[in-house]
Structure 1
Amino acid sequence: MKLKKLEYDDIKNVVDFIKSNPQKLSLYNPATISLWNGCIYDVYFTIEDNILIIAEVEIENSNNKRLMLPVGKKIAPEKLKDIMNLLGYKYVYYVSEEYINENRNELEQIFAISRQEEYDDYVYLTSELSELKGSKYSPKRNLINQFLKNYSDLFEIKPLAVENIDDVIELTNNVYKQISTEKAFNILACEKKAIENIKKLWGLLEFKGVCIYINKQLKSFAIGSRLNPETYTLNFEKADKNIKGLYQFVDREFAKLVRNDCLYINKESDLGKELLKKAKESYHPVFRLNSYILELK
């Protein structure tokens, strides 16, 4: 068994395999895996015996590496240990709570199990995000109303298309220039690269999105992709921070766009950032998907 670096020509095989074996955690979304490849981590993979094995290897320090939980047929903890030893990996990241609960007794004999809260996913009902009904969403509706009051004759909503990806990249660059801290700068540089990859991978991956133009200039966008038959992931969302209510407006418009295609919207994790946590909680997730780490004893 040998892992291969994920290249453009491999993506369709990975996409098709995951589509046939749909996952719930957003980091198993084929779009997420493909778009962020080469950003901080390089992705390696193999498909053998009806199992997809994916690894992330840090670009600047190849000793910092981990497997993701294999996708495909159910894999026993003992078999997982054998794969890790064969490939030379000590950690498995992004392990679902379902797998932990189904195999806890055996897992505890082989692995140290730890929570990975910064990678817990926030999941919402698409119907709630598209309608924002009830008192709990009153602050969001108020902000949207302020946006509509100030810009009702000035904005235009366009669906995401390959023709406006360049506008999306330009807006991302403008946000990128406003970042002052080095850490945030590096993260956004990586996100910028991932967004640029949308254009390269258009046609291989299933994207949907909305773009909000004001005075014919792109000021906000939301881009998502199919995670599983009942869920879309909201991969990227940006808005001009100087336009009040624009974030809330584009978020609702994205939910409207996909409401006939999915029951849930997965807004990914908060990465352990308090501001992201507050923003995601303010939309009242219907549940969270917990993530775990397995470390070989």
Structure 2
Amino acid sequence: MLSFKPVELSDKPLLQPFLYKHQKLLCNWSFPNMILWHDAYLPYYTLVDNILLVAAMKDKPIYGFPIGEGDIQSAINVLIEHTKKHNHVLTLAFLTEEMKETLESLFPNRFNFEEDRGTFDYIYNVSDLLHLKGKKYQSKRNHINQFKKKYNYTYHPLTVKDIPECLEMQSQWYDENECSTDSCSLELENCAVKRGLGFFGQMDMKGGVLRVNNKIIAFTLGQALNKDVFEVNIEKAFKDYHGAYTMINQLFVEAEMQNYQYVNREEDLGIPSIRKAKLSYYPTIILKKYKATLK
């Protein structure tokens, strides 16, 4: 019988090395994401024969594809029995194309698959975001040049001393944007940002702060997904400072990501403005994801 427990910060020594070893490009079940978005998804986990099983227990339970080097087929069978016992249909979320093909091979005609466009990850070559070369990035270079000419700015790595001011900035940012998008998703994001800042000193996250006249006008947080991929979890800027998002993006890449091949800037949640912004940086990979439901 499976016994799931909530993902907590104290689970970091167990879960983070495991996930670092076995994750490729997918970011949904990274340890920082499960901690930051705890209130939105209520992440749970259990270990079965060197396989990590993860689940989001908010509302209807959904499960992740088994993580690890053990018997995937056996692990999924255990999940099937577990969900039957608890009277709900097994739903696996955030499946990559590779996971989908494995599932179809192990369980032919047992699952219905649905493409989940709003959850696709946007993955970029670090060198592209660092150098912004070529005609396609001309507008980004223009934003940066205009920002540098207009503002007296400084950038430095985020430290715990910056947290209170970042929290103050986030509160102001939330008030300014509260009516601009879905209020529920914005509130959940607000909680995630506050958790990220609140736990910053207790996690292996990196961050950056952009100041104008010594005032924080942008900040960002992220962490290595594995040895090849860096994940950006949070990026905030005041829109009144033209080019601030472009600046914090490039400066963070320059400061923290030059030893990685890719940067995963996560999904667009189906929000048109976010999708447009992420596409404007010309991702190397748009990582498709699927939802699978047992027939």
The one-character-per-residue Cα deviations of 1:69-104 (angstroms, maximum 9, x if unpaired) are 121125444641432322445201011211222443
Distance in 2 between the 1:259 and 1:183 partners? 30
TM-score normalised by the chain length of structure 2? 0.92
Q: 1:144 to 1:43 in 2, by over 3 A?
A: same
The size of the alignment, in residue pairs, is 290
Shift of 1:171: 1.1
**Alignment partner, residue 71 of structure 1:** 67
Shift of 1:40: 2.3
Distance in 1 between the 2:213 and 2:183 partners? 28
Q: 1:122 to 1:96 in 2, by over 3 A?
A: same
Identical counterparts, % of pairs: 28
**Alignment partner, residue 14 of structure 2:** 13
Distance in 1 between the 2:29 and 2:23 partners? 9
Distance in 2 between the 1:25 and 1:75 partners? 20
RMSD: 1.9
**Alignment partner, residue 90 of structure 1:** 90
Distance in 2 between the 1:179 and 1:188 partners? 8
Distance in 1 between the 2:106 and 2:235 partners? 41
Shift of 1:7: 2.6
**Alignment partner, residue 200 of structure 2:** 202
Shift of 1:195: 2.2
Shift of 1:46: 0.8
**Alignment partner, residue 132 of structure 1:** 132
Task: Please say if 1:100 is aligned against 2:96.
Answer: no
Unaligned runs of at least 5 residues, structure 1? none
**Alignment partner, residue 52 of structure 2:** 52
Unaligned runs of at least 5 residues, structure 2? none
Distance in 2 between the 1:288 and 1:179 partners? 27
The one-character-per-residue Cα deviations of 1:18-44 (angstroms, maximum 9, x if unpaired) are 12322321112211111111x222111
Q: Secondary structure at the match of 1:146?
A: helix
**Alignment partner, residue 112 of structure 2:** 112
Q: 1:72 to 1:24 in 2, by over 3 A?
A: same
Shift of 1:227: 0.8
**Alignment partner, residue 141 of structure 2:** 141
Q: Is the 8 A contact 1:120 1:289 kept in 2?
A: yes
**Alignment partner, residue 226 of structure 1:** 224
Q: Is the 8 A contact 1:81 1:296 kept in 2?
A: no
**Alignment partner, residue 281 of structure 2:** 283
Q: Secondary structure at the match of 1:40?
A: helix
Q: Is the 8 A contact 2:7 2:34 kept in 1?
A: no
More off after superposition, 28-37 vs 196-205: 196-205
Distance in 1 between the 2:273 and 2:70 partners? 37
Distance in 2 between the 1:191 and 1:167 partners? 18
Q: 1:199 to 1:219 in 2, by over 3 A?
A: closer
Q: Is the 8 A contact 1:11 1:204 kept in 2?
A: no
Q: Is the 8 A contact 1:23 1:29 kept in 2?
A: no
Shift of 1:16: 2.2
Distance in 2 between the 1:116 and 1:246 partners? 31
Distance in 1 between the 2:272 and 2:70 partners? 35
Distance in 1 between the 2:52 and 2:245 partners? 37
